[in-house]
Amino acid sequence: MFATATRNFVEEVDPDGGLIPVSSLKDSISVLSVVVKRKRFWLWQKPKYIPTDFKLNDLLTGDEPLTPGIAATEFIKYNGTYGGNIEGNLNANFGQSKVNTDVTVTGKDSSKLQSALGSLRKEELDVQKLLQDCKDRTLDMTHALVKQTKERQRQSFGIVKERITNTQLCSVIEDKQQSGQCGGGLSLCGPQNQKFSLKETGSLGNDSNVTMEIPVGTTLAYVLIELEIKHDGHFELMVMSGSSGGFEVDGPKRVELLVVSRAPPGTSVNEHLSLELEPINKHFQLLAALPPTSRSALLQHITKVMEDQGAVASLESLLEQMCQNRKPSLSEAATTDAQRENIQAIVGLLEDLSQAEEATSALKALHLLAGAMDEMTDDCLASLRSCCSPAVLPSLELLVRCVSGDGQVPLSSVDLPGDAYKRTERLFASSNVSLKRDGETLRTELKQQAGNLPLVLCIAVRGLASLAHTE
């Protein structure tokens, strides 16, 4: 709840800037706090920011602390309400020579998040004074935090130069309502045309209303200055917007990022997207090649994980640990018991794959899928989940191939009933892609400055569709 509220806040007030949302109430962040920035596996993934218990003064050599000025000003008054309704249904028929099964599933999700943060304040560091104070100062390269951060690839230090805090006791309220119905019929055809039928219906409801109070002075978001650190501990503050820091390395810098192709200047946005997808197509093929029972179970558990953005982030983090041959752990993950069971079930399915090579390939492919879902906005993820059924995913895959292709597809080739089309239209719109009917043709068009959202959409849909693949 808190992470969703701060993420929504940042998307509203500074969507393309350097403001970073705080993800946990446990994070104690103030001006001059040290934050570890960790680059991710894929270039389109946003970095992860890991707050520490230290301030810059704790890492410096010498006894004289830095004392730059801090200015506090009123920022804005913020209250927001987010959410909506999502409905869907699925009809399926599974027939064999003697057994026919009809299944109908309908569902409705309603969620609302109210963020009553009230009047907010901005604390900002005097950067000019900090630059002067940092001259000739060095970091203690034997400090445990410095040593451990330097040992890890793709990590760097940032110093909090600005933070946004609340000035009064405020609250975040989450109201969720989930309901569904399932109806099924089983027909057994025996000798002499004898037929036995069984029909069953059921319903499920789940409502929750949770209120979280946020203490006065809680940091909601912050801005960093990154440090470029030399071998001897001397460092430079990277004050220019967009500049990155890091540790000095011996020889050529080793790059471990799993990259996607970058199109040359002058290519169209569709061609650019196609080139970015080209080197990762193999991951979708690997998912489609998994045993049918494994694919079906994975799709089922992933769909449940998609109910909560925090659970998606936890799944992505766990799969990343496994990709790095680290022991996977969910001990610090902010997930419910039910979501932890879903995530553990996904890990168990990976471990159950008979061939080691098959398991490794599936792990990387699932990490790609989870990474894409983790980059989605809340609205985009909720819309995708509402379309996440074997009946709808093949048409979604056709449409995302259209996005990275010539931008159009015959309407007759897309099997989307009325409600599914509306949900698909919403999904594409939340990913900065317009979906329009033009006579007998469906057209897709990338919006101006669409960013990475269309790429993330294509990866997520194609990954899920690979799991829904039928022989």
Domain assignment present for 282: yes
Domain assignment present for 253: no
Which of 193-197, 266-270, 436-440 is predicted least confidently?
A: 193-197
Please compute the mean of the pLDDT values over residues 27-54 and round it to a whole number.
90
Q: Are residues 273 and 373 in the same domain?
A: yes
Domain assignment present for 393: yes
Token reading at 81: 């309400």
Residue 175 has pLDDT above 80, yes or no: no
User: What's the confidence (pLDDT) of residue 331?
Assistant: 55
Q: Are residues 157 and 209 in the same domain?
A: no
Please compute the mean of the pLDDT values over residues 309-314 and round it to a whole number.
88
Residue 93 has pLDDT above 70, yes or no: no
Q: Return the residue matching tokens 């969720």.
A: 176
Cα–Cα separations (whole angstroms), residue 123 to 2, 206, 238, 402: 21, 42, 19, 47
Please compute the mean of the pLDDT values over residues 253-275 and round it to a whole number.
61
Please compute the mean of the pLDDT values over residues 305-324 and round it to a whole number.
89
Domain assignment present for 262: no
Confidence of residue 8 (pLDDT cuts 50, 70, 90): confident
With a pLDDT cut of 90, the percent of the chain lying above it is 35
Please compute the mean of the pLDDT values over residues 56-71 and round it to a whole number.
92
pLDDT digit string (tens) for 366-396?
999 999 999 998 888 989 998 888 888 999 9
User: What's the confidence (pLDDT) of residue 262?
Assistant: 53
Domain assignment present for 415: yes
Angle at which helices 309-323 and 337-352 cross, to 10°: 30
- Range 253-259, long-range pairs (CB < 8 A, 24+ positions): 254/153, 256/153, 256/154, 257/39, 257/40, 257/41, 257/42, 257/43, 257/154, 258/41, 258/42, 259/42, 259/43
Q: Are residues 45 and 95 in the same domain?
A: no
Confidence of residue 179 (pLDDT cuts 50, 70, 90): low
Domain assignment present for 156: yes
Domain assignment present for 397: yes
User: What's the confidence (pLDDT) of residue 361?
Assistant: 87
**To the nearest whole number, what is the mean pLDDT of the chain?**
81
pTM summary value: 0.76
Q: Are residues 135 and 200 in the same domain?
A: no
Q: Are residues 201 and 348 in the same domain?
A: no
Please report which helix (H) or strand (E) contains residue 198, including its range.
strand 195-214
- Tell me which of 204 and 353 has the higher pLDDT: 353
User: What's the confidence (pLDDT) of residue 178?
Assistant: 58
Residue 104 has pLDDT above 50, yes or no: no
CA atoms within 13 A on the CB side of 460: 30
Which of 125-129, 142-146, 172-176, 179-183 is predicted least confidently?
A: 179-183
Confidence of residue 180 (pLDDT cuts 50, 70, 90): low
Residue 256 has pLDDT above 50, yes or no: no
Confidence of residue 193 (pLDDT cuts 50, 70, 90): very low
- Tell me which of 58 and 403 has the higher pLDDT: 58
Work out how many domains the chain is built from and give that number: 3
Q: Are residues 322 and 198 in the same domain?
A: no
Cα–Cα separations (whole angstroms), residue 448 to 10, 421, 434, 445: 21, 23, 11, 9
- Tell me which of 471 and 320 has the higher pLDDT: 320
Domain assignment present for 47: yes
Which of 1-5, 17-21, 253-257, 340-344 is predicted least confidently?
A: 253-257
Please compute the mean of the pLDDT values over residues 92-109 and round it to a whole number.
45
Which of 16-20, 353-357, 399-403 is predicted least confidently?
A: 353-357
Q: Regarding beta strands 70-95 and 155-166, do their DSSP bridges make them parallel or antiparallel, or are they unpaired?
A: unpaired
Q: Are residues 442 and 313 in the same domain?
A: yes
Q: Are residues 414 and 321 in the same domain?
A: yes
Q: Are residues 407 and 349 in the same domain?
A: yes
Cβ neighbour number for residue 343 with a 10 Å cutoff: 26
User: What's the confidence (pLDDT) of residue 143?
Assistant: 95
Q: Are residues 52 and 139 in the same domain?
A: yes
Q: Are residues 224 and 321 in the same domain?
A: no
Confidence of residue 61 (pLDDT cuts 50, 70, 90): very high
The region, left, alpha or beta by phi > 0 then psi within -120 to 50, assigned to residue 192 is left
User: What's the confidence (pLDDT) of residue 337?
Assistant: 83
Please compute the mean of the pLDDT values over residues 313-331 and round it to a whole number.
83
Cβ neighbour number for residue 357 with a 10 Å cutoff: 8
CA 470 to CA 103: how far, in whole Å?
A: 17
User: What's the confidence (pLDDT) of residue 254?
Assistant: 45
Please compute the mean of the pLDDT values over residues 344-372 and round it to a whole number.
86
Confidence of residue 208 (pLDDT cuts 50, 70, 90): low
Residue 145 has pLDDT above 90, yes or no: yes
CA 166 to CA 118: how far, in whole Å?
A: 7
Residues 144-183: b if buried by 16+ CB within 10 A, e if exposed: ebbeebbeeebbbbbbbbbbbbbbeebebbbebebebeee
Please compute the mean of the pLDDT values over residues 12-22 and round it to a whole number.
85
Please compute the mean of the pLDDT values over residues 350-360 and round it to a whole number.
77
CA-closest candidate to residue 35, choices 162, 129, 216: 162
State the sign of the Cα–Cα–Cα–Cα dihedral 39, 41, 44, 50.
negative
Q: Where are the alpha helices (DSSP H) in 136-247?
A: 144-151
Instruction: List the domain range (segments joined by +) for residue 106.
Output: 85-111+171-213
Q: Are residues 295 and 227 in the same domain?
A: no
**CATH number of the domain residue 92 falls in:** 3.90.1150.210
